[in-house]
């Protein structure tokens, strides 16, 4: 291992010397174009090396956390896409940096670093790995290329590192801490100001009637309750159900000027004993954070507290194919959202609602069908 590290120190040092000795510099617009290309290659190389390192740390050790050198064969995550992402990253990094600084001598010399990376893999790494893992590695060599230049590999490598079991414990639906404290602001910033307009439009699309009694499941900061208030007027009522401490505090503070908006500090998973009291139950971006079993409990609760003919309104992800969805949705669902979200997206929500006594579905979709407002009537 020490010799391998020494090899790379020597190769990098040789390149550094070339960069210092040469005085060939590009200028003007070419410098700018090369710098952009250099930035891209540098980031790509760093992402490759970092994702590969983390994947090996997590999946290539018989005992988790047992030293630096892998002792278990893995073809997980980025390793399902190419055999040597780490070496490709190490090989490409000098080229990226040389382009970034517009140092032509170093750009030319970095070709030798890439060649060194390929030689190192073919002459040193692969024979050693075949010796350690035998036929399973040979089979892997036949199926997966040594190197591949692909952004999709980086993306899938990232998702694999985030992958967790789709359990309630791993769900992030009980928002807390920093995320809860600045929830509304974060939503506005992450969506570059799109979210406030969207949620206002979606709440308008519910068609709440004047004087309606509304239960808001997982009510958050009270932003939705205030938007709904303008439709129900002063004789209706909105009751938010919320268990997050930071969310409860904001709900109370934000809605203190409204006499007919109340907060119930109760979980929507517990049986609610206010039978047939509400005209609407609204649940916005909450249901996708629960297991199927818990979704059933929430739907049963909605059914119990709705008046006959009352409407259950679900604003959440629509059913869609995450693999073929635009990058922004794939990234949101697989990297930012909790593991249960993808399972929710694949599930047949209307069928579940039907089983629990709801019917007469109406749907409005947003963002090219990736989000929907589903209205279901208690029959």
Query: 């000795």: which residue's tokens?
Result: 21
Distance separating alpha carbons of residues 219 and 235, to the nearest angstrom: 20
User: Residue 312: helix, strand or coil by DSSP?
Assistant: strand
Smallest separation, CB 180 to ligand SAM (Å): 7
Q: Does 305 bind ligand SAM (CB under 6 A)?
A: no
> Please, which residue, 228 or 247, has the CB nearer to ligand SAM?
247
Task: Select from 244, 260, 341, 353 the one that contacts ligand SAM (CB under 6 A).
Answer: 244
Q: Does 174 bind ligand SAM (CB under 6 A)?
A: yes
- Give the residue from 355, 379, 270, 370 showing the smallest Cα distance to 322: 370
Q: Read off the tokens for 95.
A: 């080229």
Query: 């997590």: which residue's tokens?
Result: 58
Distance separating alpha carbons of residues 31 and 98, to the nearest angstrom: 11
Query: How would DSSP label each residue in 139-154?
Result: HHHHHS-S----HHHH
Q: Does 252 bind ligand SAM (CB under 6 A)?
A: no
Q: Does 281 bind ligand SAM (CB under 6 A)?
A: no
Q: Does 218 bind ligand SAM (CB under 6 A)?
A: yes
Distance of CA 245 to the CA centre of its chain: 24
Half-sphere exposure of 119 (CA within 13 A, CB side): 10
> Please, which residue, 260 or 284, has the CB nearer to ligand SAM?
284
Distance separating alpha carbons of residues 115 and 351, to the nearest angstrom: 57
Q: Does 130 bind ligand SAM (CB under 6 A)?
A: no
Q: Does 224 bind ligand SAM (CB under 6 A)?
A: yes
Site size for ligand SAM, by CB under 6 A? 19
- Of 261-280, binders to ligand SAM (CB under 6 A) are 267-269
Query: 């406030």: which residue's tokens?
Result: 196
Smallest separation, CB 239 to ligand SAM (Å): 12
Smallest separation, CB 254 to ligand SAM (Å): 12
Smallest separation, CB 327 to ligand SAM (Å): 22
Query: What is the DSSP code (8-state) at residue 319?
Result: P
Distance separating alpha carbons of residues 138 and 56, to the nearest angstrom: 19
Task: Select from 34, 51, 109, 173 the one that contacts ligand SAM (CB under 6 A).
Answer: 173
Burial class (CB in 10 A: 0-12, 13-18, 19+), 143: exposed
- Give the residue from 88, 89, 95 showing the smallest Cα distance to 118: 88
Task: Select from 91, 157, 220, 236 the one that contacts ligand SAM (CB under 6 A).
Answer: 220
Smallest separation, CB 65 to ligand SAM (Å): 33
Query: 């750009």: which residue's tokens?
Result: 107
- Tell me the window of 4-12, 143-151, 237-245, 322-330 that interacts with ligand SAM (CB under 6 A): 237-245
Q: Does 126 bind ligand SAM (CB under 6 A)?
A: no
Q: Does 222 bind ligand SAM (CB under 6 A)?
A: no
Smallest separation, CB 232 to ligand SAM (Å): 17
Residues that bind ligand SAM (CB under 6 A): 173-175, 218-220, 223-224, 241-244, 247, 267-269, 284-286
């Amino acid at each position: 291992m020490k010799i391998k590290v020494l090899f790379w120190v020597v190769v990098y040092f040789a390149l550094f010397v070339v960069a210092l000795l040469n005085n060939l510099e590009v200028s003007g617009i070419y410098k700018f174009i090369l710098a952009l290309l250099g930035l891209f290659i540098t980031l790509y190389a760093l992402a490759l090396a970092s994702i590969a390192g983390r994947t090996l740390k997590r999946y290539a050790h018989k005992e988790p956390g047992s030293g630096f050198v892998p002792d278990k064969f893995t073809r997980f995550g980025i390793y399902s896409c190419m055999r040597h992402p780490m070496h490709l990253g190490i090989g490409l990094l000098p080229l990226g940096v040389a382009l970034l600084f517009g140092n032509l001598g170093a750009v030319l010399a970095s070709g030798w670093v890439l060649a060194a990376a390929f030689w190192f893999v073919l002459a040193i790494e692969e024979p050693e790995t075949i010796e350690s893992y035998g036929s399973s590695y040979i089979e892997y060599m036949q199926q997966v290329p040594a190197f591949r230049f692909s952004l999709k590999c980086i993306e899938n490598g990232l998702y694999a590192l985030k992958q967790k079991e789709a359990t309630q414990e791993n769900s992030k639906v009980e928002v807390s801490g920093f995320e809860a404290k600045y929830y509304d602001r974060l939503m506005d910033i992450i969506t570059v100001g799109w979210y406030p307009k969207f949620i206002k439009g979606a709440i308008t699309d519910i068609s709440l009637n004047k004087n309606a009694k509304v239960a808001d499941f997982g009510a958050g900061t009270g932003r939705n309750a205030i938007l709904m208030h303008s439709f129900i007027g002063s004789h209706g009522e909105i009751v938010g159900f919320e268990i997050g401490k930071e969310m409860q505090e904001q709900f109370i503070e934000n809605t203190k000027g409204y006499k007919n908006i109340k907060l119930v500090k109760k979980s929507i998973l517990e049986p609610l004993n206010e039978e047939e009291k509400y005209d609407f139950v609204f649940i916005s971006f909450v249901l996708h954070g629960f297991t199927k079993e818990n979704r059933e409990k929430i739907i049963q609760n909605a059914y119990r507290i709705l008046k006959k003919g009352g409407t259950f309104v679900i604003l959440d992800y629509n059913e869609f194919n995450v693999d073929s969805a635009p990058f922004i949705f794939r990234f949101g669902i697989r990297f930012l959202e909790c593991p249960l979200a993808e399972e929710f997206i694949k599930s047949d929500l209307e069928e579940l609602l039907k089983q629990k006594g709801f019917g007469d579905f109406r749907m409005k979709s947003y963002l090219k069908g990736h989000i929907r407002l589903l209205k279901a009537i208690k029959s």
